[in-house]
Structure 1
Amino acid sequence: MLSILIPTYDYDISSLVEEIHAQLAKTDYIFEILCLDDHSNDQATIKQNERINTFSNAVYKVLPENIGRSRIRNLLAQEAKYDWLLFLDADVIPVNKDFITKYVETISEEKEVIYGGILYQKTKPKQENVLRWVYGKEREALSVKQREEALYLRFLTLSFLIKKSVFQKVKFNEDIPNARHEDTLFANDLKHAEVHLTHIDNPVYHLGLDTSKEFIRKSMESVEVLIVFLKNNLIAHDDILITKVFARVKKFGIHHLLSAMYRWFGKRFERNLLSNNPSMFVFDLYRLTYLCYLDKRQ
């Protein structure tokens, strides 16, 4: 018995639900599809999503207020009726027509969390979206073998199956700022709770590419949140690569130079990242120098 849980905000998920429902209709699985809208502003999108309610065993509801990415996922799990929860982000679509079947066939007594992976379209997008596409292809679209080399670090929450009993013990952290990294903390909590995580080859396409400017903004906000996490002991330096490197450069006193580099070269870094051929080395250096800059200002 399967609960498919989809949070959304100002995004048309009707095609995603239609595809998932079509796959489920070809099986004898007992299922429900629960979609919660985090108080969207776009009335046209809401109207489009309301057709989800015409599908059997599917519900789309708009929340009376915006509650954020972590709380809405916890609320979906709370309202779910069945033993296994399949979380899907709004801006994904299954790569294969046996997507649901592959997940279900992986279920066994010892399995607790199952992650199928992510892919990006092969065609290079227009320049304003290139940075997010390059980052996704190089850092997220990994094979099972690559993901298993860093079991929890390379887990993403945009498509995963989890036992409801396990989720009730871990959940998404609702006390963090609503500014990214809820998946980082969730994966870290799974690791420390010694939850069994299985990686399989069952990807979704990530469709919702931010513009390069928007992705830079979100990435820098994420760096700011990392400072909060470290100060409040929500993560250790070794839990994330950037904070691990930061701890090392600080140990050797190099962080002062890197902080200065952010001030001197920040605009040059951005020009590269906004180009048609952004460098992931520059992206990493930009974030690391900003982290050093923020730390020095504390």
Structure 2
Amino acid sequence: MLSVLIPTYNCNITSLVNKIHKQVSELNVVFEIICIDDCSTNKSISKANQNINNLKNTNYTILDKNVGRSAIRNILAKTAAYSLLLFIDAGTMPKNADFIKNYLKLKNHDVASGGMTCLATPPNKPYKLRWLYTKKREYKTLCSSNFMIKKDVILRHPFDETITSYGYEDVLFFNNLEEHHFKTHFFNNPVVHHADDDASIFINKTDKALNNLIILYNEKKIFPHQVKLLKLYLSLKTLKLNGLIYLIFKIVKPIVLINLNSNNPSILLFDFYRISYLCRH
């Protein structure tokens, strides 16, 4: 009945899988847990994850080559034996003891998402920025880190595998579903993000995601009304203010980065960083 699907890359997922396995085993449902490693470079983590195979109805495999965030989700969907698919990202943990049970109550929905939340206790620098972003910007957005979908729906409308780099593949996926009249039911059943990216890594990922956003916009796959940041950037460009904003950003960038790496990063400064990065295009 239920296939729990976990894509992973350089992340120890044993605690996550054990928790999911415990919850689903306590329910009277047929299930499987499939974990696919996207050719991790950290072999010690991959070795530790092999213990997952000792759990009933659970399988962990490693791909021979890295295929990217979109393709690995499509592979998981095709591999799944059952009609109901629950995707959970590595680096997260269900917040609720009834996480699986809550999803099964919505088994008649084509698509459902429980959202994401942050750790209750904020980490210290340089991990604070990632935690703050989840708390202020990701808590009520659709994301591929935690959603349930019927297998026939995702097979008909898969992730776009032309997107091989990081960023906005989930926005495109959910927008595509909506265009085909599959409305995602959003409810309060979050996973907790571990916030294990330091500020430098997170900013680098942000840069990659914003580059992806521009590519997807140029390819007419994502539109301004779907992404507020993109809409703001294009408005600034129309007013010919993008060059001025990027010039100001280049001057103050060292100060901004000091703040973002601090123990008290400003989410507004991070918003300024993101719009300024777009203004370089």
Smaller-chain TM-score bracket = over 0.9
Cα deviation digits, residues 8-28 of structure 1 (max 9, x gap): 111111111111111111111
Counterpart of 2:263 (choices 272, 276, 292) is 276
Q: Is the 8 A contact 2:70 2:164 kept in 1?
A: no
Q: Is the 8 A contact 1:10 1:46 kept in 2?
A: yes
* d(CA) in 1 for partners of 2:185, 2:265: 32
- Cα shift readout 1:181-240 (whole Å, capped 9, x = no counterpart): 211211221222221210111111111421011111111121112221111111112211
Q: How does 1:206-285 map to 2 (within 5 A)?
A: 206-285=193-272
| TM-score using structure 2 length | 0.96
For residue 141 of structure 1, the aligned residue among 133, 139, 142 is 139
Tell me the equivalent position of 1:184. 171
Superposed displacement of residue 96, structure 1: 1.4
CA contact (8 A) 1:38 1:63 kept: yes
1:7 maps to 7
Letter in 2 for 1:164: K
**Structural mapping, 1:117-196, within 5 Å:** 117-142=115-140, 154-196=141-183
- What's the secondary structure of 1:127's corresponding residue? coil
SS at structure 1 position matched to 2:280: helix
Aligned-partner Cα distance in 1 for 2:96–2:203: 31
Runs of 4+ in 1 over 3 A off after TM superposition: none
Greater CA deviation, 71-80 or 201-210?
A: 201-210
Q: Is the 8 A contact 1:212 1:273 kept in 2?
A: yes
d(CA) in 1 for partners of 2:214 and 2:187? 33
Q: For residues 109-151 of structure 1, what are the alpha-carbon distances to aligned partners after superposition, in whole Å with 9 as ceiling and x for unaligned? A: xx11110111211212011101101111111124xxxxxxxxx
Deviation digits for residues 165-184 of structure 1, max 9, x if unmatched? 11112111110241222112
RMSD, aligned α-carbons: 1.3
1:95 matched to 2:95: yes
Contiguous gaps of at least 5 residues in structure 1: 143-153
What's the CA shift for 1:268? 2.0
**Alignment deviations for residues 55-95 of structure 1 (CA, whole Å, 9 cap, x no partner):** 11111111111111111110000010111100000111111
1:6-155 matches, within 5 Å, as: 6-108=6-108, 111-142=109-140, 154-155=141-142
Q: How many residues align?
A: 281
Equivalent position amino acid for 1:254 in 2:
L
Identity value in percent: 37
